[in-house]
Structure 1
Amino acid sequence: MEMREDYIINTEASMVAPHFGNSGDLHSLVMESDELFFVRVRPEKLFDDNLRRNGTSLRGAADGAKQMIGSSTMAPVVFNKKHKMYWTPTMSPQSPYCVWLAVSHILKYEEKGKHATMVHMRNGSKIEVACSLYRFKQRMQRAYSLQSIIENQSKHLLKPAKICTQRFYIRKNHKGVNYDLDE
Structure 2
Amino acid sequence: MERVMNYIIDNEASIIMTEYDKHGNELSIVFDKDKPMMIETRPFELLNDSIKAYGYDIFGAFRGSRSILGNIKMPPINVNPRKVMIWFPCSSPKDRECVWLAHAHIVKRERLGRKKTRIYFKYGHTLTLDISTYSFDQKMKKAAELHVYLIKEEVGEYMGNYYGFDIVKETGNRNYRIDNRSSDLFEDF
Question: TM exceeds 0.5?
Answer: yes
TM-score of the pair, normalised by structure 2: 0.79
Q: Distance in 1 between matches of 2:125 and 2:87?
A: 17
In structure 2, the gaps of 5 or more residues are 160-189
Identity of aligned residues (%): 30
Q: Is the 8 A contact 2:84 2:151 kept in 1?
A: no
> What amino acid sits opposite 1:21 in the alignment?
D
Per-residue deviation, residues 18-73 of structure 1 (Å, max 9, x unmatched): 11111111100110111011001000000001101111111110111011011111
* Secondary structure, counterpart of 2:36 in structure 1: strand
TM-score of the pair, normalised by structure 1: 0.82
* Secondary structure, counterpart of 1:84 in structure 2: coil
Q: Distance in 1 between matches of 2:81 and 2:45?
A: 21
* Secondary structure, counterpart of 1:144 in structure 2: helix
**Residue in 2 aligned with 1:21?**
21
Say yes or no: does 1:121 pair with 2:128: no
> What amino acid sits opposite 1:39 in the alignment?
I
Say yes or no: does 1:148 pair with 2:169: no
Q: Is the 8 A contact 1:90 1:130 kept in 2?
A: no
* Secondary structure, counterpart of 1:80 in structure 2: coil
Per-residue deviation, residues 77-128 of structure 1 (Å, max 9, x unmatched): 1112443311111011111011111111100011122222100000111011
> What amino acid sits opposite 1:52 in the alignment?
K
Q: How many residues align?
A: 158
Alignment of 1:21-170 (within 5 A): 21-156=21-156
> What amino acid sits opposite 2:43 in the alignment?
P
> What amino acid sits opposite 1:42 in the alignment?
R
Moved over 3 A (4+): none
In structure 1, the gaps of 5 or more residues are 159-183
